[in-house]
Amino acid sequence: MIALSLALALVAGDYAPARQGLEPLDAQREARVMKLGKVLRCAVCQGLSIADSPASMARAQLDKVRELVAEGKTDQEVMDYFVARYGEWALLEPTTNGLNGLLWLGPVVLLVVGLLVIVSLVKKRAPGELAPQAPAAAADDPFLAQVRAELEK
């Protein structure tokens, strides 16, 4: 009932938790703001960046980025501002320090090892061995054979 009356009050009045943000900076610096906004985690959302989140707190945070960029702070200094408050949690793009290296290198290592395994799977034939029956291999694919027949007409 309390919530309902609150809702009705809001319908009658206004809902304005989201105050107007700062004016965008010039194109070049605004692009920097948006780029930084993409890698900073909104404090009140579920894993969205402050550039993506519609929450008003996220826009306040984005305004902070704007303010810091306007003051001439570097990207690192802007990120440090948020890390000082929320820890590395604030960075949607994890750093490469310490154990985090695994996060960045792991998939790359897997790709490389996988490629090596695939290459090693290719059977090296001894010189005396019969050549593979490539025509036969192709032949058990009737569609491909048909396609090829088509191409060679």
Partner 1 sequence: MAEVVGNGVQVSHSNLGYGLVLLGLLAATFAAFVGLWSGLTRRETLLPWVRGAVYTFSGSMILSNLTMIHALFFDDFSVKYVAQVGSKATPPIFKVVSLWSALEGSILFWGMILAVYLLVFTLMYRKAQGRFVQLSLGIMAAVAVFFAFLIAGPANPWTAIPNPLSDGPGPNPLLQNHPLMIIHPPMLYLGYVGMTVPFGIASGALLSGEITAAWMMPLRKWSMVPFLFLSIGIILGSWWAYAVLGWGGYWAWDPVENAALLPWIAITAFLHSTMVLERKGSLKLWTLALGLAAFVLTIVGTFMTRSGVFNSVHSFTQSEIGPTFLKFIVIIFVFSFVLLVVRGGKLQSDSPLESVASREGSILLNNLAFAALLFTVLLGTIFPLVQEALFNKRISVGEPYFNAMSMPCWILILFLMGVGPMMPWGKAEPDLVLKQLLVPGAGALVGLAASMALGARNPWAIGVYTLAGFVAMVTLRELFLPAQSRMQESKENPFTALVRSASKARRRFGGYVVHLGIVGIAVAVAASSTAKVHVSGTVKVGETLEVAGHKVRFDGLSSGSEPHRTWTGADVTVIFPGGSEAVHHGLKAPRMNFYERQTDPVGSPMVDEGALRDVYVSLMAFDSKTPSATFNAWVFPLVGWIWYAIPVLVLGSIIALWPQGRRREEREAPAKAIPQGSA
Partner 2 sequence: MSKTAWALFAVLGVALGAMWLVFHKSFGNDPHAVPFELAGKPAPRFTMKRLDTGELVKLEDFIGRPIVLNFWATWCGPCKEEHPVLQWAYQKWQRDVVFLGVVFEDTEENTKAFLVQNGSSWPQLYDPKSTVAVDFGVAGVPETYFINRSGVIVGKYPYPIDPQTMTKRISEILQ
- Rounded CA separation 67/36 (Å): 12
Residue 101 in the binding site for partner 1 (CB under 8 A): no
84 binds, among partner 2, partner 1, none (CB under 5 to 8 A by kind): partner 2
Residue 50 in the binding site for partner 1 (CB under 8 A): no
Interface positions, 114-153, toward partner 1 (CB under 8 A):
114-115, 118-119, 121-123, 132-152
- What is the sign of the dihedral through the CA atoms of 87, 54, 96 and 80? negative
End-to-end Cα separation, the chain, in angstroms: 80
Chain residues binding partner 2 by CB under 8 A are: 2-3, 6, 10, 13-19, 21-22, 43-44, 46, 56-57, 60-61, 63-64, 67, 83-87, 89
85 binds, among partner 1, partner 2, none (CB under 5 to 8 A by kind): partner 2
CB-side neighbour CA atoms (13 Å) of 59? 11
Q: With respect to partner 1, which residue has the nearer C-beta, 13 or 72?
A: 13
Distance of closest approach, residue 90 Cβ to partner 1, in angstroms: 7
Q: With respect to partner 2, which residue has the nearer C-beta, 14 or 26?
A: 14
Q: Scanning the structure block, which residue is given the tokens 């989201």?
A: 18
Residue 33 in the binding site for partner 1 (CB under 8 A): no
Residue 103 in the binding site for partner 1 (CB under 8 A): yes
What does the H/E/C string look like for 57-108? HHHHHHHHHHHHHHCCCCHHHHHHHHHHHHHHHHECCCCCCCCHHHHHHHHH
Residue 70 in the binding site for partner 1 (CB under 8 A): no
Please check whether residue 83 is in contact with residue 75, taking contact to mean a CB–CB distance below 8 angstroms: no
